[in-house]
Amino acid sequence: MAPDVLSPATLGPLKLRNRIIKAATFEARTPNALVTDDLIDYHRQPAAGGVGMTTVAYCAVSPGGRTGGEQIWMRPEAVPGLRRLTEAVHAEGAAVSAQIGHAGPVADARSNKATALAPVRFFNPIAMRFAKKATRDDIDEVLAAHANAARLAVDAGFDAVEIHLGHNYLGSAFRSPLINRRDDEFGGSLENRAKVARGLVLAVRRAVKGQIAVTAKLNMADGIRGGITTDEALTTAKWLEEDGGLDAIELTAGSSLVNPMYLFRGDAPVKEFAGVFKPPLRWGMRLTGKKFLREYPYREAYLLREAKLFRAELKMPLILLGGITNRETMDLAMSEGFQFVAMARALLAEPDLINRIAAEGEQVRSACTHCNRCMPTIYTRTRCVITGAPDRGRPLQ
């Protein structure tokens, strides 16, 4: 029989009170790239609301690995604030993970005031800057920065780190045959293209010395012609399983760079997206927004079909993500053999959703309408525009 999603579970060295993880939703609450009370409250709410674990996003491994210059990057100066955050989450009975990674071609070099890295020289239209082709030394530095970030996460009291290997961030940009046109040991064959992703995982695994859990957010497909396909992703996932560096994989899809709606499905908030940029980017977004934000129909558990292929081929714990909003879908995930579920928008809209589901069961319906107007709020202050959460009681911007 499938386990109860609300029952405790083990994730590597970690015991979680249930099998529900608040997925990464970049918070936009760190104006000085350091923890604020506001950021702590953002994570205290889902912790008090019943999740097993919340995920702090985004904890870049270096200044140039951020998608914006206000994001936290892992450095000793950030640790005291992060420790306050982990203590606040623990006081509510939940665990807390840090999403660590390097945004690669998605990084905003202009706002970071630091060079972005990519498998090849690559133009980022939002940053209006080129990312530099990463050299062997750059790759070694990124590996070391991941190890360092993971050690700092241990110092700060995190229970887990989630390595970002999706959405065309650096690890997945190297895996992409479309972006990675290198002809050296990191390009060409799938084995070569997967080297960076596998190296990042092993660097982190060695650094944490079994003290905390290590997971990765892995693209099953980019949703772009010429990008990562399910077949290739499955082979990569099998290698990651064999390498033994991960306690679980969270399965995702899409590209922040080229096809973001593949991640989310549902309505494309073109007008709201254009509104957060200054001209001429605003005009560009208005003109090309429908293409960039190509719509895909939303359905509950929209990644399940692909994820089941991974479940069938892998033995290790898997986290199902994408369009999980209610008890029935959670039960379905458990019955399909997934060990955990991860939820982003539904918990952004209602941080107390899990407590309500625990109390009232199947009749609880999420307030999230997948209008996706939360997406552009990452440029101001991340929130659900329908419920106002997690800012309830505060005036909305």
Ligand X SMILES: Cc1cc2nc3c(=O)[nH]c(=O)nc-3n(C[C@H](O)[C@H](O)[C@H](O)COP(=O)(O)O)c2cc1C
Q: Within 10 Å of residue 64's Cβ, how many Cβ atoms?
A: 25
User: Does residue 215 interact with ligand X by CB under 6 A?
Assistant: no
For position 296 contacting ligand X by CB under 6 A, the verdict is no
DSSP code string of 20-61: EEEPP------TTSS--HHHHHHHHHHHHTT-SEEEEEEEES
User: Counting contacts by CB under 6 A, is residue 29 touching ligand X?
Assistant: no
Nearer to ligand X, 203 or 368 (CB): 368
Calculate ∠ Cα 205-341-149, nearest 5°.
25
Q: Closest distance between ligand X and the C-beta of residue 299, in Å?
A: 11
In the complex, what is the shortest distance from the CB of residue 324 to ligand X, in angstroms, rounded to a whole number?
A: 6
Nearer CB in complex with ligand X: 25/124: 25
User: Contact between 379 and ligand X (CB under 6 A)?
Assistant: no
- Distance separating the N- and C-terminal Cα atoms of the chain: 47
Residues near 186 by Cβ (< 8 Å), separated by ≥ 6?
119, 139, 174, 180, 192, 193, 195, 196
Alpha carbons 174 and 242: distance in angstroms, whole number: 20
Q: Scanning the structure block, which residue is given the tokens 């890295």?
A: 117
Q: Answer yes or no whether residue 322 interacts with ligand X by CB under 6 A.
A: yes
Active site amino acids: 169
Q: Are 132 and 114 in contact (CB under 8 A)?
A: no
Among 43, 146, 164, 327, binds ligand X (CB under 6 A): 164
**Is the separation of the CB atoms in 391 and 383 below 8 Å?**
yes
Footprint on residues 86-105 left by ligand X (CB under 6 A): 99
Stretch that binds ligand X, among 32-40, 110-118, 195-203, 315-323 (CB under 6 A): 315-323
**Residues binding ligand X: number (CB under 6 A):** 25
Nearest CA-CA partner of 115 in 135, 144, 98: 135
Q: How far apart are CA 342 and CA 21, in angstroms?
A: 5
Residues ≥6 apart with Cβ < 8 Å to 146: 61, 100, 101, 102, 163, 200, 203, 204, 207
Residue 324 interacts with ligand X (CB under 6 A)?
Answer: yes
**Contact status: 25 vs ligand X (CB under 6 A):** yes
Choice between 44 and 217, CB closer to ligand X: 217
CA Rg, the chain, in Å?
19
Q: Is 257 in the site for ligand X (CB under 6 A)?
A: no
Rule CB under 6 A: is residue 33 a binding residue for ligand X? no
Q: Closest approach of Cβ 333 to ligand X, in Å?
A: 12
- Closest approach of Cβ 72 to ligand X, in Å? 11
Provide the residue type at 134 as one letter: A
> Shortest Cβ distance from residue 378 to ligand X (Å)?
5
Indicate whether 344 belongs to the interface with ligand X (CB under 6 A): yes
Q: Rounded distance, CA 6 to CA 326, Å?
A: 12
Among 165, 285, 375, 385, binds ligand X (CB under 6 A): 375
Please identify, among the stretches 1-9, 104-112, 306-314, 372-380, the one whose residues bind ligand X according to the rule CB under 6 A: 372-380
Least separation in angstroms between residue 57's CB and ligand X is 4
Q: Would you count residue 252 as binding ligand X (CB under 6 A)?
A: yes
Q: Which residues bind ligand X (CB under 6 A)?
A: 23-26, 57-58, 99, 164, 167, 217, 252, 263-264, 321-324, 343-346, 374-375, 378, 382
